Amino acid sequence: MSRLFKKLKSYQPFANMDQQREYRHAVARLGICFAVTCALAIMAYAGKIAGVTVLLGLSYFLFALAWAVITRRYPGEIDIRHNTTLISDTGMTAVLMYLLGSTGAVLFPVYLLIISGYGSHLGKKYFTIAGAATLTAFLITMTGSPFWWQYPGVSLGLALSLVLIPILLHKMTQEKEQTVYKLDRELQKTTYAATHDATTDLVNRFYFFQRVKEEIQRAQRYDKNFTILYIDLDGFEQINKIYGHKFGDEVLKVVADRLHALIRRSDLIARLGGDEFALLLYDLFRTEDVRSFTQKLIEHLSLPITIRQSEVYITASVGISQYPNHGKDPDVLINKADHAMHQSKSNGKNSYTFFLEEVGGGR
């Protein structure tokens, strides 16, 4: 048996969750059949039931085993597969309940397992189908078995439970799904707020550092290069003093939009705080290409900005660092880009500086 399960585990991973659920369902059926077969064998040994009942249980155990192998080896998403096992499960339970008479009453919870198993795995439709199938199977057993006719009140009560329980389980499942959905939405909002700037909707400093770290790992693995631009807006404090912080926030949004218009979808923009921004430019490394891009960025940001009939001008000082020339650590790369940006400010602002050019004061 252990060899069989090792063999099953050796197959390729499931393509989706539906296939994984089907296999788990098959394994659960196999476990239940094993327990029932063992119980029947003990009862037969004690002389409580006929041996044919044990053979019936054993045959269904072998069917469950074969089905587990099939669902693992040939996973699928066809309704007929689910309907086949549903009919088999309810039918076998009904037959055993009929053959066992009063002892068969202990198998009634299996109907509830069938309803909950199919409904929770396969959705609302199967709560209804499983409920109808188990109710039909139990009514047939109740009609044909002398034992169940002796207790009509109990029999009808159990039959009613097979109507009400699917409704209750479906309602509970819906409430659970709604709760999970709400929690997921709240988690998404919380995660987004923790990694994004509220004013510009750009990623924040924390997220940017994480992405630089990931990009370093990717660059090391695939022998890639990348460039970091550290941007500080010249004269932004004066705009805040003259027009107010709300006006300044509008200016930051315009700057964010202009940066978005310049980069590729694969690149990353972050607001590091205040009037400081950063760009992570994937696979952009050649000096002439970086110079061309940065000069275009500076010219684009220096265009006039009109907000509520007020026109303002802003420029940018940019510092540049590159992987791997300037370091192989996120803090080192970003700090060097920051130092280069301050050198640009010292050089008269509205300019850019590569980190290694700081000493020479070059652009």
Check whether 1 has a pLDDT greater than 60: no
For residue 303, the SS3 value is coil
Query: Between 171 and 345, where is the model more confident?
Result: 345
Confidence of residue 77 (pLDDT cuts 50, 70, 90): low
Residues 178-212 have pLDDT tens digits of 888 898 888 888 888 889 999 999 999 999 999 99
User: pLDDT tens across 223-249, in order?
Assistant: 999 999 999 999 899 999 999 999 999
Rounded mean pLDDT of 287-311?
94
pLDDT value of residue 163: 85
**3-state SS of the chain: helix, strand, coil percent to 5?**
70, 10, 20
pLDDT of residue 17: 77
pLDDT at 138 over 50: yes
Q: Is the dihedral of CA 203, 206, 212, 214 positive or negative?
A: negative
Query: Strands 226-234 and 310-312: what pairing?
Result: unpaired
Express each pLDDT in 270-295 by its tens digit: 999 999 999 999 988 899 999 999 99
Lowest mean pLDDT among 3-17, 256-270, 299-313, 318-332: 3-17
Which amino acid type is present at position 26?
Answer: A
132, HSE (Cβ side, Cα atoms, 13 Å): 6
| pLDDT at residue 326, rounded to an integer | 93
Angle between helices 152-195 and 205-222 (to 10 degrees): 90
pTM of the model: 0.58
- What six digits make up the tokens of 183? 């929690």
Q: Where are the domains of the chain?
A: 2-190, 205-357
**Percentage, residues of the chain above pLDDT 90:** 45
Q: What is the pLDDT of residue 361?
A: 38
pLDDT-derived band at 12 (thresholds 50, 70, 90) equals: low
For residues 63-90, give the mean pLDDT: 84
Q: State in words which class domain 205-357 has.
A: alpha beta
pLDDT at 153: 84
- Tallying the residues shown for the chain, one arrives at 363
Distance CA 30, CA 63 (A): 9
Tens-place pLDDT, residues 41-51: 998 888 888 88
Question: DSSP of 194-211, one letter per residue?
Answer: HHB-TTT--B-HHHHHHH
CA 303/CA 306 separation, integer angstroms: 10
Query: In which band, very low, low, confident or very high, does the pLDDT at 268 lie, cut at 50, 70 and 90?
Result: very high
What's the pLDDT at 22? Answer: 83
